[in-house]
Structure formats: C-alpha cells, structure tokens
A = this chain, B = another copy of it.
Amino acid sequence: MCQYPKHVQLKEVGPRDGLQNENVFIDTDDKIKWINMLSESGVQEIEYSSFVHPKWIPALADARDVGRRIKRNPNVSYSALVPNLKGLDHALETGIDAASVFMSASETHNQKNINKSIDETYPVLKKVIQEAKTAGKFVTGYISTVFDCPYEGRISPEQAVAVCDQLFDYGVDSISLGDTIGSAVPSQVEALLDHVLSRYSQEKIIMHFHDTRGMAIANIMTSIQYGITRFDSSVGGLGGCPYAKGAAGNVATNDVLYLLHGLGIETGIKEEKIQQAALYIQDKLGKRLPSKALAYQLSNFKKTV
C-alpha cells in the first residue's frame, strides 16, 4: 500500500483563476463576502484577485477594491496575480502576503497570453520577482501549459524545466506547474515530475490541474505518490471554459478534499465551509458548478437513502 503524507496544503484559486474564466461579473460586495467565507474555511492560502490590466480580465477589474475590503484572517496567506512592476505596485499598495507571477512553458501560448516571447518575458518577471522579494513577499511562479499547449501540442518536460530553472534562479520561492487545458494523464505527470524533482525538492513544487476531461483527481493522486504536498484548487470547480458547456475548470476543492480526507490526509479545511462557499458562488453565477462531490452533497439534502 501507498504511503501518504500527513498533511497537504491547498491554495484556493477560485477568486482568481476560477472567476477569470467565468463570463459573469460577480458584484464586488458579493466577491468580498465570498472570499471572507473562504477565509474562515481553514484554507491557508487564497489567491484573491489579479492585478492584470482590467482590459484583459474584466471579471477581476475590482482587484484593488476587493483586496482593500476583504477581512484578513491572520492564518491565511493572501496572494494576487501580478503581470509586471505596475501590477506588483498596485498589489503591494492593496495588500498581499505573496505575489504570483506567470508565464507559459509553450512559446506560442506565452505569445498569445502575454503578448511576448518567452525570452522577452524573463526580464520582466525577473524585476517583478526581485522587487517582490525586496518587499519581503513570498513569490510563486505559475508556469502554464506544462503538459500540452492548445497551439503546439505536447510540451516536453525539458521545456517546462527550462522555465523552472530561470524562475528559481530569479528567486521565486515555489513554482506551480499548470495543466492549463486539463489534458494531462498520470503518465505525463510522472514524466514531468521525474525531471522536475531530480532538480528541485517537492516542497517547492505545486501542482495546478484543470479537470477539463476528468483526469485531475487521478493526476493529484500520482503527484502525491511523487511526494507533492501542495495543490491549487477552486471551490466547486469554478472556471469552466466559457466555450465549453459542462466542461470543468480548475479541479474542485470539494473533490480534492473528499480525496485527501478519504486518504486520511489532513488539510485543516472544513468541507462544509467549502460546500457553503460553493453554493454561494454557484447561486451568484446562476449555474451549476461541475464538482461531482458538490453535486452529490447537494443531492443529499433532498434524498433519503
């Protein structure tokens, strides 16, 4: 039988990665109320918004207002996405414990997403990382499309590791490896982690899965077998692709908790609080979220076995 870690740490990315992929703008007061609910769930990290220009992510145009008005729980580390020095300045003014920088392992995806080549992106991120570290903040580097790119297809572990090397060299504390299009299967996770963990220790690596094709929980299991103990997830599986009715977004925090707690792994997170937060945002979005654990929990309100 597999040996499981005692504790796994989740970062709740629903307020950022989840909402940025939803078509509906959630009213700022509602967002704040919702993030405050998440802050009381026991989760240790919350990414509350993005300081990318509102032109690119209109759903998160209220990042400053949200950041100023959420009730900060001293047991939670609050992060925000920052694309450049200006974004970092706004985030620092607003209040962050950690900054998240981002780029792609795929040249084409990076170009489409950031409007720069990978080589043009590095010096920008270097400055952001160094200024954030100077300000005493933790820094996470998100690397997207580490397995597959919607434009280029399969991405080699070497390509992803090359980006890891640069970002660690610039001083990031940890790297979050993103299956942005939710296409990976466990053998791809194994191949990448074989490479990454030959260079970096497990506690520096976060895995970030989308559940687009229903593989995320299996990929998390495989990551755990490799000693990974940090994952990003999103309440209810928020963030389904706007083009894909019924397609899932980030792996659902609810499903991850069902898995981890079932395996006897502690997270410090209360499942019923996450369920309440999922119901709250589901109601505001006016659509059912894709989490299966959530759908089951909801059905049980009406059901007598």
Contact = CB atoms under 8 A, between A and B. Distances in A.
Interface of A: 1-2, 4, 150-151, 182, 184-188, 190-191, 194, 211-215, 217-218, 220-222, 241, 243-248, 252, 255, 258-259, 262-264, 288, 290-293, 295-296, 298-300, 302-303, 305
15 contacts: A1-B187, A2-B186, A4-B187, A187-B263, A187-B264, A188-B262, A212-B292, A214-B292, A215-B255, A215-B258, A215-B262, A218-B259, A246-B295, A247-B296, A248-B295
A242 to B, nearest CB: 10
B191 A1 contact: yes
A228 to B, nearest CB: 15
Contacts of A255: 213-215
B305 A187 contact: no
B298 A215 contact: no
A1 B214 contact: no
B2 A187 contact: yes
Nearest to A252: B214
B288 A246 contact: yes
B299 A244 contact: yes
Contacts of A292: 211-214, 246-248, 290
Contacts of A4: 187
* 9 smallest beta-carbon distances between A and B, as pairs: A244-B299, A185-B262, A214-B292, A246-B295, A243-B303, A218-B218, A214-B255, A217-B218, A150-B305
A2 B218 CA distance: 14
Given A1-B194, A218-B259, A246-B298, 16 more contacts: A1-B191, A2-B186, A185-B258, A186-B221, A212-B292, A212-B296, A213-B255, A215-B259, A218-B221, A221-B221, A243-B302, A244-B295, A244-B298, A245-B298, A245-B299, A247-B299
Nearest to A182: B296
A295 B217 contact: no
Contacts of A215: 217, 255, 258-259, 262
A257 to B, nearest CB: 10
A292 B211 CA distance: 8
Contacts of A295: 244-248
Given A290-B292, A292-B213, A241 B299 contact: yes
A32 B237 CA distance: 37
A191 B264 CA distance: 13
A244 B301 CA distance: 9
A267 to B, nearest CB: 14
Contact of A244 (B150, B190, B296): B296
A214 B220 CA distance: 12
Nearest to A305: B150
